[in-house]
Structure 1
Amino acid sequence: MRVAIGQFNATVGAFRENADRIAALSRDASAKGATLLVLPEQAIPGYPARDFLTRHGFVAKNVEALEYLAKATASLPISLYAGFAEPHPGRGTGVHNAAAWLRGGRTLAVARKILLPSYDVFDETRYFDPGEQVRIVDHEGVKIALTICEDLWNDKTYWRQRRYERDPVEEAVAAGAQLVINASASPFEVGKPQQRERMLAACARRHRVPIVYCNLVGGNDALIFDGRSLVVGKDGEILARGKAFEEDLLIVDVEPTAAGTKAIASPPPAAKGSAETSSPRHPVSPFRDGAPSDEDLDDLLRALGLGLRDYLRKTGFEKVVLGLSGGIDSALTAALAVSAIGAENVIGVALPSQYTSQISKDDAAALAENLGIRFETLSIEPAFEAFKETLAPVLEGRTPTLTYENLQARSRGVLLMALSNELGALLLTTGNKSESAVGYCTLYGDMAGGLNLLGDLPKIVVYALSRYVNRDREVIPSRTISRPPSAELREGQTDQDSLPPYEVLDRIIAGYVVEGRSADELVAAGEDEAVVRRVRKLVRSSEFKRRQAAPSLKVTPRAFGEAWRYPIAQGYDED
């Protein structure tokens, strides 16, 4: 059976555009001899549509687009498996996360997602009702099980901790399925592509059934979908891989399992040995043991580039502006932006104060020259002095310290937002996950902006990624990477005046934030108790800042934002 996988970049709410893209893929796949085209989860409305799914008009237009697609492909000798939001008025949420089997201008079958994730960034029980059973269709004499994303993620012999009782693949194979196809929208995070391959290979091997898996590609808000669709043979061998972080049309000849083949009662030793210690509730930080591998760093570069490009394209921006402090965070952000959208679309602005060192000024200018971007310098001193003069009557008799440090950062934020408004360029904020975790950032100051590329990267990874950017030539000045980081808001300031060393801080953040470990567990693992409890207190007391932060592109198992939902006003004592 010749199967096509249409790994494409859907835009939320762009129904006609998405349908036209699918129709074009259908024509191409059919011309190459494919008789089945598998598409991503929610390919018609885009994923995740979030609260749009609560609006009847949105769901109705998505159904209209599905009908349009059916008619547009009616004359093609190919079946389509395309994700959409299926209305079922009168009970529950009134919507299913579904996928339609289209052929000859008609919807011949509808599969409904059975396992609805509600963890991490997923909130599907808010929007969808679960399907009741796996749908199986007959195509060219082959029984094909129609599944959707999470339906594949609960193999009882692979996961040590399972979230659901049911295993839809097991049910489908028991009902005679000879091939499993899956429409997916699985977001990227470091290490997840390898995990997907291991899981799908183990599932196929256990059930002696091939799996065709189509994943979404592209960026939608903070989520990045890496594609990497897969075709896995019945013995667990990888037959085909889709491109990473790019659209792709895979054409693969798949040999279904012979009718009557029995699944093996227990997995072979290789499958048992690959069982995951991670689970949705207790993920494992990919950076627990330090800096990531070159493979992971390359993935990060491509993921963040795709996330930025799609965020700009789907929100109507073409250019970005950012402050260049001479430090490593802004340098890496600028380098990533140039790599993603070109130097002609990036504007760097130095905003020195009396505390900005000459080294920082020189490094910011050198970075801009290395990148070939437009570079401006605006002193914040006039604005800062004007603010101080305005405040003087109210602050008479006081000697503000932290207030004036924050006022410097906010002076920069005001100027950068003014440039963003006037130039029509999205302001990129440049903070990292380590700083966000402990509140080492200023509301309406260095936090000002519309998107954060580094917000899910610990500081140790910022350094590693900066060195990786420089692997072929010096893009980021080497001095920027080697010298101690500083906010330069007072004379002689360094980050370590206020924070533990980043290698210590990032280990604690990985354990407490990403893995959900307690202070006692972290201390038992060798961390200093006083430092752990101080960091934990800072994390909790900084929630009000994170709630007002720009979206950060998600690249780890637990990012701040939708995956981190803690109250600001609370009195819980963790000890």
Structure 2
Amino acid sequence: MFGYYRVASAVNQTTVANPAKNAKEVISLIKEAHQKEVSVIVFPELTLTGYTASDLLLNQTLLQAQEDALNKILKNIKEINTIVILGYAHIEADRLYNCAIVLQNGNILGLVPKTYLPNKKEFYEKRQFVSGKGIVRTTTSLKGDEVPFGVDLLFNDGKDMTFGVEICEDLWAVTPPSNHMASNGANLIFNLSASNELIGKHEYREELVRTQSARCMAAYVYSSAGVGESTTDTVYGGHAIISEYGTTLKENERFRMDSHFITADVDLERLRWLRLNETSFSDGRRKPVSTIKVSPTPAISAVEREINPMPFVPSQYADKQARCDEIVQIQAHGLIKRMTHAHIQKAVIGISGGLDSTLALLSTHRAFDIMGWDHKDIVAITMPGFGTTTRTKSNAEKLCERLGVTLKTVEITNLSLNEFEAIEHDPSEHTVTYENVQARARTSILMNTANKIGGLVIGTGDLSEVALGWSTYNGDHMSMYALNSSIPKTLVQYVIEYFKSEEKIAAIIDDILATPISPELLPHKEDEIVQHTESIVGPYELHDFFLYHFIKYGAKPEKILYLAKKAFDIKYDEEHIKEWLTLFLKRFFTQQFKRSCIPDGPKVGTISLSPRADWRMPSDADFETWIKALDN
């Protein structure tokens, strides 16, 4: 399923020092997880004995009961291909190790000993256990078989999943073992833990898991001992967390009295390809590991994960004001550096009453605020043509007036008619020539005005237009600083909404957001826009979705199609999504020649198409391979 695997974090109802009862709870959860198509399920530390058994772990009777419980589990999972990770106390060379034991189809795949043993305050693990640090490339005897044993074990399914295991304190160490596991190919980390509850500790624990998943560029599945553990000195809440690359996908309710597990579908294919796109990951130190091949695990029939239809737009839980302010600050300071370096204090910007020029103007205005420069040195030029409507022209004028910038109006109709005559073009023929003559006339006015007043032309085109090549070459394609060049259309809309907090322009912003997206290059009809961009190239929300997945981790067209169908659900059917995805691919490839010579502009988000920074591609690459993949 396009690299998606369903993983589970389980918290079983624990009876301290009663492995038989604990095994019964474990078996029930394993069977339920298998029915729910879980590939791997992890349980808390010392699952069968209970973490708080303490010195009883040095007693032969308890360890024998643990072995009997393990035998029972193995017999009950012979027909189950879900991988199970349990906490297990194991004797090797007359030493006791706190281990994770990995099981599948009634077989023991390996044992991973804990490296870091807490021995402070309420924890006394060195009373019972020995650290597994340094145990590599070896085996141990268990149930009469030689089983892989060591901290160097990784488990691989021959496809997208390679996982490693660490135990509780390992994660809290200065250098967690998962760092090395990730550097050696593990894109999925499991942690069996017994982390007690203290005021605020659960918040730090979640942050630790989440940030480690980001650092390792992996998914991280964490399970901690529950309320059945002894409360002699401390209380355990049973915390389960599943994170992926810096985002927590699922977290349980702590202090539950019953056995339960949480699941999440992690995108391991995406993580693998993200690593290929991040040079810092490839610089990570590699060392010999022991890779164990696992059998195929349950394949999920459908992804049960919410796919964000607006991947460029901050989460609904993000602080909108803080996020938008940061975006505008990046834009503003990028512009400030360019202008101060060039000893220029005047900005020239074409203002149309549309989204892009509005954001560019507002961010330029912010830059002038920061520097204490006169707003009148922002020269905004509205250039009405054959398609300009009263609505857009009025919004542009009112916005400039409220912001206190210099507004100039230059009609381009006569200029365009003169150009049509010069190149012998019939103005009644509304071809691409008809449109591009107007776009280039506007750029010429901006450039020449900048020359006259000693100003800098601010580019307004956004990342979505750069990706699609939706600009006129050497027209709006060109500027002296492309302020919006790494901000996609969906994010442009999001940031503009932020400016509604400024009362003097709130009503204008509202109407600009409600205006259909259009270059207004074709004659209007009764003062209404007739040229709707999204009717021509498709919805920008779809193109931004395509762009994110195509660039971020090189997703295949068929995966992008699947994700888009799920993300947009009933809003767009498969036929239309495929139609616009086909157009996106064709335009993305054929319009690279425009991106190869775009002006400088600040990188704002994680994706940029600047040929000097993020994206290098031949202008004559063929798109046929991608279209065939989509068709098939």
TM-score (norm 1): 0.52
1:539-554 matches, cutoff 5 A = 539-554=588-603
Q: Identify which range, 447-456 or 356-365, moves more after superposition.
A: 447-456
Give 5+ residue unaligned stretches, structure 1.
Answer: 1-153, 166-193, 204-268
1:170-185 matches, cutoff 5 A = none
Aligned pair partner of 2:481 in 451, 457, 460:
451
CA distances 1:443-466 after superposition (whole Å, capped 9, x unpaired): 121122111121111111101100
Partner in structure 1 of residue 114 of structure 2: none
Partner in structure 2 of residue 330 of structure 1: 357
1:25-40 matches, cutoff 5 A = none
RMSD, matched Cα:
3.6
Check 1:444–1:201 CA distance in 2 against 1; reply closer, same or farther (3 A cut).
Answer: closer
Aligned pair partner of 2:619 in 558, 568, 574:
568
Aligned pair partner of 2:458 in 425, 428, 431:
428
What letter corresponds to residue 311 of structure 2 in structure 1?
R
Alignment of 1:157 with 2:187, yes or no, is no
Aligned pair partner of 2:583 in 524, 527, 534:
534
What letter corresponds to residue 589 of structure 2 in structure 1?
R
Aligned pair partner of 1:500 in 538, 543, 549:
538
User: How many angstroms apart in 2 are the aligned matches of 1:303 and 1:430?
Assistant: 15
* Kept after mapping to 1: 8 A contact 2:590/2:620: no
Check 1:523–1:364 CA distance in 2 against 1; reply closer, same or farther (3 A cut).
Answer: same
Partner in structure 2 of residue 109 of structure 1: none
1:177-256 matches, cutoff 5 A = 198=211
What letter corresponds to residue 357 of structure 2 in structure 1?
S
1:387-426 matches, cutoff 5 A = 387-392=419-424, 395=425, 399=429, 401-426=431-456
CA distances 1:362-397 after superposition (whole Å, capped 9, x unpaired): 1110010111000000001221111111111xx579
Alignment of 1:374 with 2:395, yes or no, is no
* Kept after mapping to 2: 8 A contact 1:349/1:378: yes
Aligned pair partner of 2:339 in 284, 307, 312:
312
User: How many angstroms apart in 2 are the aligned matches of 1:385 and 1:487?
Assistant: 18
User: How many angstroms apart in 2 are the aligned matches of 1:323 and 1:357?
Assistant: 16
User: How many angstroms apart in 2 are the aligned matches of 1:424 and 1:310?
Assistant: 16
Partner in structure 1 of residue 137 of structure 2: none
Partner in structure 2 of residue 250 of structure 1: none
Partner in structure 1 of residue 311 of structure 2: 288
User: How many angstroms apart in 2 are the aligned matches of 1:369 and 1:155?
Assistant: 58
CA distances 1:533-574 after superposition (whole Å, capped 9, x unpaired): 221111111101111221221122220012111101233533
What letter corresponds to residue 534 of structure 1 in structure 2?
L
Aligned residues: 329
User: How many angstroms apart in 2 are the aligned matches of 1:341 and 1:286?
Assistant: 35
Aligned pair partner of 1:359 in 391, 400, 410:
391
Partner in structure 1 of residue 519 of structure 2: 487
User: How many angstroms apart in 1 are the aligned matches of 2:180 and 2:609?
Assistant: 26
CA distances 1:110-163 after superposition (whole Å, capped 9, x unpaired): xxxxxxxxxxxxxxxxxxxxxxxxxxxxxxxxxxxxxxxxxxxx9873598549
Give the secondary structure class of the aligned counterpart of 1:281: helix
* Kept after mapping to 2: 8 A contact 1:514/1:558: yes
User: How many angstroms apart in 2 are the aligned matches of 1:275 and 1:558?
Assistant: 17
Alignment of 1:514 with 2:552, yes or no, is yes
1:287: how far off? 5.0
* Kept after mapping to 1: 8 A contact 2:356/2:461: yes
Check 1:378–1:273 CA distance in 2 against 1; reply closer, same or farther (3 A cut).
Answer: closer
* Kept after mapping to 2: 8 A contact 1:158/1:271: no
* Kept after mapping to 2: 8 A contact 1:285/1:514: no
Partner in structure 1 of residue 150 of structure 2: none
* Kept after mapping to 2: 8 A contact 1:324/1:349: yes
* Kept after mapping to 1: 8 A contact 2:462/2:488: yes
User: How many angstroms apart in 2 are the aligned matches of 1:518 and 1:442?
Assistant: 29
Partner in structure 1 of residue 328 of structure 2: 301
CA distances 1:480-501 after superposition (whole Å, capped 9, x unpaired): 1111111000031111221222
* Kept after mapping to 1: 8 A contact 2:592/2:619: yes
Aligned pair partner of 1:470 in 500, 504, 517:
500
Give the secondary structure class of the aligned counterpart of 1:428: strand
* Kept after mapping to 1: 8 A contact 2:309/2:545: no
User: How many angstroms apart in 2 are the aligned matches of 1:479 and 1:305?
Assistant: 24
Check 1:396–1:356 CA distance in 2 against 1; reply closer, same or farther (3 A cut).
Answer: closer
* Kept after mapping to 1: 8 A contact 2:350/2:380: yes
User: How many angstroms apart in 1 are the aligned matches of 2:347 and 2:435?
Assistant: 26
Query: Which runs of 4 or more aligned residues in structure 1 lie more than 4 Å from their structure 2 counterparts after TM superposition?
Result: 158-165, 199-203, 269-278, 282-287, 289-292, 395-398
CA distances 1:325-344 after superposition (whole Å, capped 9, x unpaired): 11111011101101111423
Check 1:300–1:289 CA distance in 2 against 1; reply closer, same or farther (3 A cut).
Answer: closer
What letter corresponds to residue 410 of structure 2 in structure 1?
L
* Kept after mapping to 2: 8 A contact 1:288/1:507: yes
User: How many angstroms apart in 2 are the aligned matches of 1:481 and 1:457?
Assistant: 16
CA distances 1:493-546 after superposition (whole Å, capped 9, x unpaired): 111221222222211111112332111111122442222122111111110111
What letter corresponds to residue 307 of structure 1 in structure 2?
G
User: How many angstroms apart in 2 are the aligned matches of 1:484 and 1:316?
Assistant: 38
User: How many angstroms apart in 2 are the aligned matches of 1:435 and 1:449?
Assistant: 14
* Kept after mapping to 2: 8 A contact 1:443/1:545: yes
Give the secondary structure class of the aligned counterpart of 1:505: helix
Give the secondary structure class of the aligned counterpart of 1:556: coil
* Kept after mapping to 1: 8 A contact 2:427/2:434: no
* Kept after mapping to 1: 8 A contact 2:354/2:517: yes
CA distances 1:244-282 after superposition (whole Å, capped 9, x unpaired): xxxxxxxxxxxxxxxxxxxxxxxxx99995755864535
Q: Which has the larger radius of gyration?
A: 2
CA distances 1:70-103 after superposition (whole Å, capped 9, x unpaired): xxxxxxxxxxxxxxxxxxxxxxxxxxxxxxxxxx
User: How many angstroms apart in 2 are the aligned matches of 1:557 and 1:421?
Assistant: 34
* Kept after mapping to 2: 8 A contact 1:202/1:271: no
1:316: how far off? 2.6
1:257-268 matches, cutoff 5 A = none
What letter corresponds to residue 551 of structure 1 in structure 2?
D
Alignment of 1:350 with 2:390, yes or no, is no
* Kept after mapping to 2: 8 A contact 1:285/1:515: no
Give the secondary structure class of the aligned counterpart of 1:370: helix
Give the secondary structure class of the aligned counterpart of 2:408: strand
Check 1:308–1:281 CA distance in 2 against 1; reply closer, same or farther (3 A cut).
Answer: farther
Check 1:458–1:396 CA distance in 2 against 1; reply closer, same or farther (3 A cut).
Answer: closer
1:41-120 matches, cutoff 5 A = none
* Kept after mapping to 1: 8 A contact 2:462/2:487: yes
What letter corresponds to residue 570 of structure 1 in structure 2?
A
Check 1:443–1:162 CA distance in 2 against 1; reply closer, same or farther (3 A cut).
Answer: farther
Check 1:328–1:271 CA distance in 2 against 1; reply closer, same or farther (3 A cut).
Answer: same
Give 5+ residue unaligned stretches, structure 2.
Answer: 1-174, 187-206, 217-238, 247-267, 279-306, 370-374, 524-529, 566-576
Q: Identify which range, 486-495 or 336-345, moves more after superposition.
A: 336-345
